[in-house]
Amino acid sequence: MGHILKMNVVLHEKIWGGTRLKDEYGYDIPSDHTGEAWVISGHPNGDCTIANTEYEGKTVSWLFANHRELFGNVEGDQFPLLVKILDANDNLSVQVHPDNEYAKIHENSLGKSESWYVLGADPGTKMVMGHHAKTKEELINYIKNDDYDDLLNVIDIDKGDFFYIPAGTLHAICSGSLIYEAQQSSDITYRVYDYHRKDAQGNERELHVQQSIDCIKVPADLDQNKIFVNTKVENGTKTRYLKCEYLTVDKYTIHGSGLIKNEAPFALVTITEGSGIANDMEFKKGDNFIICSDVDEIEYDGTFEAMVTTL
* Residues annotated as part of the active site: 191
Report phi then psi at 2, rounded to 5: 90, 180
289, β-bridge pairs: 6, 269
Query: What is the rounded distance in angstroms from the CA atom of residue 47 to the CA atom of residue 35?
Result: 17
At 86, is the secondary structure helix, strand, or coil?
A: strand
> Across the chain, which distance is largest between two alpha carbons, in Å?
60
Tell me the CB-side half-sphere exposure of residue 186, using CA atoms within 13 A: 25
- CA dist 85 and 179 (Å) reads 6
C-alpha distance across the termini of the chain, in Å: 22
Residue pair 117/127 in contact by the 8 Å Cβ criterion: no
CA distance 87 to 187: 17
CA distances from 206 to 110, 228, 242 (A): 22, 38, 32
